[in-house]
Amino acid sequence: MPVEPMVVLDGVHKRYGDTAVLSGLDLRVERGEHVTLIGPSGSGKTTILRLLMGLEAVDAGTIHVGGRCLTHMRRRGAVVPADEKHARAVRRTIGMVFQQFNLFPNMTVLGNLIEAPVRVLGMSEAEATRRAAELLELVGLTDKTHERPTRLSGGQQQRVAIARALAMRPEVLLLDEVTSALDPELVAGVLRLLRLIGESSDITILCVTHEIGFARDFADRVLMFDGGSIVEDGPPERLLVEPRVPRTKEFLAAVLEGR
Amino acid sequence: MTGIWDWGYAVEVLPALLRGLQVTVLATLLGSVLAFALGLVLAIVLRARVPVLHRVVRAFVEFWRSTPLLVQAYVIYQVLPDVGITLGSLAAGVIALGLHYACYTSEVYRAGIEAVPVGQWEAAAALSLPRSRVWFGVILPQAVPRVLPALGNYVISMFKEVPLLLAIGLVEVVTVARQLSADSFRPVEPLTLAGLLFLLVSLPASILVRRMERRAGAG
Amino acid sequence: MLDNLPLILSSLAAGVPPTVFAAVGGIALTIALSAVAGLALLSRHRAVRAVSRVYVEFFRGTSEVVQLFWIFFVLPALVGYQIVPLAAGIVVLGLNHGAYGAEIVRGAVRSVPRAQYDACTALSLSPWDRMRRVVLPQAVVEMLPSFTNLFIQLLKSTALLSLVVVDEIVRRGQLLVPNLGVGEKLTIYLVELLLYLGLAVLVTSGMRLLERRAAARVGRPPTAARSGFATGVAM
How many angstroms separate the CA atoms of C63 and C68, rounded?
Answer: 9
C114 to chain A: closest CA residue:
A102
**Total number of domains in chain A:** 1
Q: Is residue C3 classed as helix, strand or coil in its secondary structure?
A: coil
A61 touches chain C (CB under 8 A): no
Query: Residue A215 falls within a domain, yes or no?
Result: no
Query: Residue A90 falls within a domain, yes or no?
Result: no
Strands (E), B155-205: none
pLDDT at B218: 59
The domain of B185 spans: 7-218
- Please, what is the average pLDDT of chain A? 91
* pLDDT tens track for A207-223: 999 888 888 888 999 99
Phi, psi of C43 (to 5 degrees): -65, 155
pLDDT at A2: 61
Give percent of chain A above pLDDT 70.
98
Query: Residue B1 falls within a domain, yes or no?
Result: no
Kindly report which listed range (A39-43, B160-164, C209-213) carries the lowest average pLDDT score: A39-43
pLDDT at C2: 66
B110 touches chain C (CB under 8 A): yes
Query: Residue B2 falls within a domain, yes or no?
Result: no
ipTM higher than threshold 0.90: yes
pLDDT at C225: 41
Q: With bands split at pLDDT 50, 70 and 90, how would you rate the model's confidence at A200?
A: confident
Of A91, A148, A150, the CB nearest to C124: A91
pLDDT at C122: 94
* pLDDT tens track for C2-54: 678 899 999 999 999 999 999 999 999 999 999 999 999 999 999 999 999 99
How many angstroms separate the CA atoms of A163 and A171, rounded?
Answer: 14
Chain C partners within 8 Å of B194 (Cβ) = 66
Query: Residue B212 falls within a domain, yes or no?
Result: yes
| Helices assigned H by DSSP within chain C | 5-13, 16-41, 46-61, 64-69, 75-79, 85-111, 114-122, 127-129, 136-157, 169-176, 184-217
Query: Residue B219 above 70 pLDDT?
Result: no
* pLDDT tens track for B16-75: 999 999 999 999 999 999 999 999 999 999 988 888 898 999 999 999 999 999 999 999
pLDDT at B83: 86
**Total number of domains in chain B:** 1
Phi, psi of A87 (to 5 degrees): -60, -40
How many angstroms separate the CA atoms of B142 and C166, rounded?
Answer: 47
| Residue of higher predicted confidence among A10 and C1 | A10
pLDDT at A20: 85
N-terminal to C-terminal alpha carbon distance within chain C: 36
The mean per-residue pLDDT over the stretch A178-197 comes to 90
pLDDT at C232: 40
CA of B12 vs chain C CAs: smallest distance (Å): 18
Q: With bands split at pLDDT 50, 70 and 90, how would you rate the model's confidence at B163?
A: very high
C214 to chain A: closest CA residue:
A106
CA of A153 vs chain C CAs: smallest distance (Å): 13
* pLDDT tens track for A92-120: 899 999 999 999 999 999 999 999 999 99
Query: Residue A212 falls within a domain, yes or no?
Result: no
pLDDT at A259: 60
Query: Residue B44 falls within a domain, yes or no?
Result: yes
pLDDT at B185: 85
* pLDDT tens track for A54-99: 899 999 999 999 888 988 888 888 888 888 888 888 888 999 999 9
| B–C contact: 3+ Cβ pairs < 8 A | yes
A221 Cβ contact list (under 8 Å, min separation 6): A33, A34, A35, A36, A233, A234, A235, A236
What ranges do the domains of chain C cover?
A: 5-217
Query: Residue B1 above 90 pLDDT?
Result: no
Chain C partners within 8 Å of A106 (Cβ) = 134, 137-138, 141, 217-218
Q: Do B162 and C162 touch (CB under 8 A)?
A: no
CB of B121 closer than 8 Å to CB of B134 = yes
Q: Do C219 and A55 touch (CB under 8 A)?
A: no
Listed residue (C110, C89, C109, C103) closest to C25, CA to CA: C89
pLDDT at A60: 92
Distance of CA B97 to the CA centre of its chain: 6
Q: With bands split at pLDDT 50, 70 and 90, how would you rate the model's confidence at A186?
A: confident
Chain B partners within 8 Å of C69 (Cβ) = 174, 177-178, 187, 191
How many angstroms separate the CA atoms of A19 and C48, rounded?
Answer: 34
DSSP B80-149: GGGGT----HHHHHHHHHHHHHHHHHHHHHHHHHHTS-HHHHHHHHHTT--HHHIIIIIIHHHHHHHHHH
* pLDDT tens track for B89-118: 999 999 999 999 999 999 999 999 999 998
Residue A213: other Cβ atoms inside 10 A: 12
Query: Residue B204 falls within a domain, yes or no?
Result: yes
Pick from C112, C116, C118, C123 the residue to mutate for testing the A interface (most A CBs within 10 Å). Answer: C123
B86 touches chain C (CB under 8 A): no
Per the CATH hierarchy, to which homologous superfamily does domain C5-217 belong? MetI-like (1.10.3720.10)
Of C173, C183, C230, the CB nearest to B82: C183
CATH classification of the domain holding B25: 1.10.3720.10
- Please, what is the average pLDDT of chain B? 91
The domain of A118 spans: 106-169
Query: Residue A251 falls within a domain, yes or no?
Result: no
A54 touches chain C (CB under 8 A): yes
B195 touches chain C (CB under 8 A): yes
CA dihedral C144, C150, C155, C158 (to 10 degrees): -140
Q: Do C218 and A119 touch (CB under 8 A)?
A: no
